[in-house]
Amino acid sequence: MSKDELKLTEQQWDRLALLRSMLRIRRIEEAIAERYAEQEMRCPTHLCIGQEAIAVGVSAVLSRDDVVFSNHRAHGHYIAKGGNVRALIAELYGRSTGCCGGRGGSMHLIDLDVGFMGATPIVGGTVPLAVGSAWAASLKDEKRVSVVFFGDGCFEEGVVHESLNFAALHKLPILFVCENNEFSVYTRMSERQPDRPIYRIAEAHGMAAYHGDGNDVEEVLSIAEAAMDRARNGGGPQFIELSTYRWREHCGPNFDDHLNYRSESEIESGLKDCPIANFASRLELSNILTQSVMDSFEAEFSEEIADAFEFALSSAKPSSKEAGERVYA
């Protein structure tokens, strides 16, 4: 399927690519969720289903040289940056061909070939690392921008504020992306923070800061594009807060609505605000998306996913004898 075959303009094609990228992440994560019950992916796993627009909208404006750091909920960030999907699935299965050779699992992802520098699950841990990477770029006069994804809960960590201050002080080329899904595990914002916008605090640290609808991929893209443009051109650190909603349990493959920590109406409106469905209907209305395009995406992804799982499951299992390697460089 190509732009010309579909008779789309460059711009229309790019819009379609956003949908494609979100849908791809969704399908990969749904496959993970479905097969998790087989008990062969034996690691804590945090899915970003419902939040794909942020990873996709931001990554769409990054170049290959720009680098990304992330957190426990990293699959979408990794895939959107171009991370190797076979190596992701193999990592979940603890295989030698995984992106960490099996040492990390879902919560620890890396793909240096595409500038995905590392995702780790100690909340806040990678935020200063991204600042450090931006610092190195600035010290070495390299053009890349550093990007870090983190949650609303993470914004409560002291190290985040220390990082914002340092980045602002040194006017570093960094984009902070706060994914505000209102929750830290089961705890909503109102039990953790006073009622005031997160991005305004970043602003008070001395940087440009914006807020947007994290479920609208085009809004994410346009905010990120402007921010990246400033970051690339000496505008110093940029902060964007994007509102979104986590569909499934904090950790694990299932829905956990039976726990009653969010009301039925809240869940209903959360699910209704699907970044993929909303954008798909917008594209349909603009005659960019048709059922046959959708079908071809689905066919492509199910093939890619089947291949990645097969790759993972047929990959070598590391031996316990290797466990002691790699402690020192």
Partner 1 sequence: MPESGMREITYAQAIREGLDQAMEQDANVIVIGEGVPDPKAIFNTTAELREKYGARRVFDMPLSENGVTGVCIGAALSGMRPVMIHQRIDFALLAMDQLVNNAAKWHYMFDGKASVPLVVRVIVGRGWGQGPQHSQSLQAMFSLVPGLKVIMPTTAHDAKGMLISAIEDNNPVMFIEHRWLHQIKDTVPETYYRVPLGQSKVLHEGDTVTVAAFSHMAVEALIAAKALMSVMGIAIEVLDMRSVSPLDVASVLRSVRKTGRLIVADTAFRTGSVAGELITQVVEQAFSALKLPPARIALPDHPMPTSPFMAEHYYPGPETIVAAVADMLGIDKNSDAYIKLTGLLVREGPHDTPNPGFTGPF
Ligand X SMILES: Cc1ncc(C[n+]2csc(CCOP(=O)(O)OP(=O)(O)O)c2C)c(N)n1
Q: Pick from 183, 245, 301, 309 the residue near ligand X by CB under 6 A.
A: 183
C-alpha–C-alpha distance, residues 186 and 251, integer Å: 10
C-alpha–C-alpha distance, residues 32 and 25, integer Å: 11
Q: What are phi and psi of 179, to 5 degrees?
A: -90, 105
Rounded to the nearest 10°, the torsion over CA 116, 80, 223, 293 is: 160
Report in angstroms how near the CB of residue 120 gets to ligand X at its nearest.
9
Contact stretch for ligand X (CB under 6 A) within 13-21, 98-106, 147-155, 266-274:
147-155
Q: Pick from 26, 35, 72, 144 the residue near ligand X by CB under 6 A.
A: 72
Longest pairwise C-alpha distance within the chain: 57
Instruction: Please report, as residue ranges, which positions from 148 to 177 form the binding site for Mg ion (by CB under 5 A).
Output: 151-153
Q: Does 214 bind Mg ion (CB under 5 A)?
A: no
Report in angstroms how near the CB of residue 153 gets to ligand X at its nearest.
3
Report in angstroms how near the CB of residue 309 gets to partner 1 at its nearest.
17
Given a contact cutoff of 8 angstroms between Cβ atoms, the answer to whether 292 and 76 are in contact is no
DSSP string, 293-327: HHHHHHHHHHHHHHHHHHHHHHSPPPPGGGGGTTS
Q: Does 103 bind partner 1 (CB under 8 A)?
A: yes
Which of 190-200 are b and which e, b meaning 16 or more Cβ less than 10 Å from the residue's Cβ? Answer: eeebeeeebbe
Report in angstroms how near the CB of residue 133 gets to ligand X at its nearest.
20
Q: Does 66 bind Mg ion (CB under 5 A)?
A: no
Closest CB to Mg ion: residue number: 151
Given a contact cutoff of 8 angstroms between Cβ atoms, the answer to whether 81 and 111 are in contact is yes
Q: Does 327 bind partner 1 (CB under 8 A)?
A: yes
Residues in the chain: 329
Instruction: Please report, as residue ranges, which positions from 214 to 253 form the binding site for ligand X (by CB under 6 A).
Output: 250
Q: Residue numbers of the site for ligand X (CB under 6 A)?
A: 72-73, 121-123, 150-154, 181, 183-185, 250
Q: Residue numbers of the site for Mg ion (CB under 5 A)?
A: 151-153, 181, 183
Q: Residue numbers of the site for partner 1 (CB under 8 A)?
A: 36, 39, 42-45, 94-95, 98, 100-108, 120-124, 153-154, 156-159, 184-187, 191-193, 251-253, 259-261, 317-320, 322-324, 327
